[in-house]
Structure 1
Amino acid sequence: MVGLCEAPRTRAELRRGLGLPVERCNYLHRYLVPWTHDRDDPAKNMHPATKRAHYAVAALIAARPRVARAPQPLNGAAGDSGESARRVRADLGVSLGQAVSAKVIKPATAESTLHLMSRQSADSVHSTLPSLTRQLLSGGIAVDWAVLLDDLAWWDLRRDRIGSRWLESYFRTAYPENDTETPSATEENER
């Protein structure tokens, strides 16, 4: 989908879908119908939640700040030494943890955002993502669009599991194993 956003006109039209349900994304259909519909077999068309995830992520990619449009490596780590080069894909929790480590977002803000999102409906999550991803990308923090797309597609059925994974990833990233304590609320307010 990143390739769709190379032309300025396309980017502008895709940005119109930020935070909106598919039914209100008339300008996006031209670009996304080929990704979401099977002409030969309509029974293979995407589930509505998956379709909405595609529309949302396309709009988020199109709305990236200029500094974030350069190709970026995927977040994640390869296996060490002789182990297989298995890549761990970064979810939103990893991105927020990296943002905290880079002092792009305050720890209390990142944590409360994740706790709130993990309890919200898909509609609320979709409306929260434009400002959150803009803040991450403006601060030089990469977002793995493929992982976000998958998480959004499954949100209605696996919200608790995905929210829990995001929180676990956040804490692993923001507070690596060598740190034994997270900042207390008092320390956070002093910053």
Structure 2
Amino acid sequence: MTFHAPEISKRQNNRATYAAFTTHIERLCRTDPGARAALRAGLRRDLDHPRTRPMHRLLTPRLPDGCDDTTAQAHYTVASLIAAQPRHAFAPDQKDDEDTADEHATAENQAPNEEGGPAKEAAPPGPTPYGTSFGAALGNAVTAKGKPMRMSAAESRINLLTRQSLRGIHLHLPAAVNQVRTTGIVIDWGQLLADLVDWQYQPGRVSRRWLQDFYRITAGADQD
């Protein structure tokens, strides 16, 4: 499918908004243990569950204006997934401060325009409306050095996830995220948030992308 410029621009703008949200959540979890505990308590719970009540104060100011419950649930789920990471994931030396992170983002945006600068290997030609999908994260977990995820386990997991309803994907993601995290693979939280928001409208498209990304990366992996 060919994406027209307005759609690409819209997706890129949404990705920037989602990335800003997840960056804020990571920073909040790193600096405020109480907030991290409150966000972690919302794992696998819907918006009206009593355990999610403390999350409203933390997340409501960061939600898109006028968003529906499904979009809000996507934000709550990703915030909980981020908060549920091991404590060492939020160590100060694991994350740049806000100013340094902004400098890195600016440098990355300018890099393709620098004459003679090295091209990013994974970057396709022209603008892309997508980031790194969770299917790609699972694929990278299979090919990771050290303690990779078994191909059979990862394939079972990706097939399970891509068959889920909207409610099901929120319930099954925590276990899958834990499996990926144990291999040291970094998850693109902003893209995961974008995909959860889109799941209610285009589950087939999101699932297909996850599967294609997974099999593209694991094509040369050993079958166990």
TM range (shorter): 0.7 to 0.9
Match of 1:111 among 155, 159, 163: 155
Q: Is it true that 1:58 corresponds to 2:79 in the alignment?
A: yes
Change beyond 3 A, Cα 1:104–1:67: farther
* TM-superposition CA deviations, 1:22-47 (whole Å, max 9, x none): 1111121010110126xxxxxx4112
Distance 1:19 1:165 in 2: 24
Change beyond 3 A, Cα 1:161–1:67: same
Q: Percent identity?
A: 35
The residue that corresponds to 1:41 in the other structure is: none
Report how many aligned residue pairs link the two structures. 171
The residue that corresponds to 2:95 in the other structure is: 71
Q: Is the 8 A contact 2:133 2:188 kept in 1?
A: yes
The residue that corresponds to 2:36 in the other structure is: 11
The residue that corresponds to 1:40 in the other structure is: none
Secondary structure of the residue aligned to 1:78 is coil
Change beyond 3 A, Cα 1:80–1:147: closer
Q: Which amino acid aligns with 2:80?
A: A
**Cα RMSD (Å):** 2.8
**Structure with greater helix percent:** 2
**Runs of 5+ unmatched residues, structure 1:** 38-43
Secondary structure of the residue aligned to 1:28 is helix
Q: TM-score, normalised by structure 2?
A: 0.68
**Runs of 5+ unmatched residues, structure 2:** 1-24, 97-103, 106-118
The residue that corresponds to 2:169 in the other structure is: 125
Q: Is the 8 A contact 2:161 2:173 kept in 1?
A: no
Q: TM-score, normalised by structure 1?
A: 0.79
Distance 1:47 1:105 in 2: 36
Change beyond 3 A, Cα 1:129–1:33: same
Distance 1:48 1:104 in 2: 36
The residue that corresponds to 1:166 in the other structure is: 210
* TM-superposition CA deviations, 1:44-64 (whole Å, max 9, x none): 411221110100011111111
Change beyond 3 A, Cα 1:84–1:139: same
Cα distance, 1:125 vs. partner?
1.0
Cα distance, 1:3 vs. partner?
1.8
Q: Is it true that 1:153 corresponds to 2:203 in the alignment?
A: no
Change beyond 3 A, Cα 1:5–1:113: same
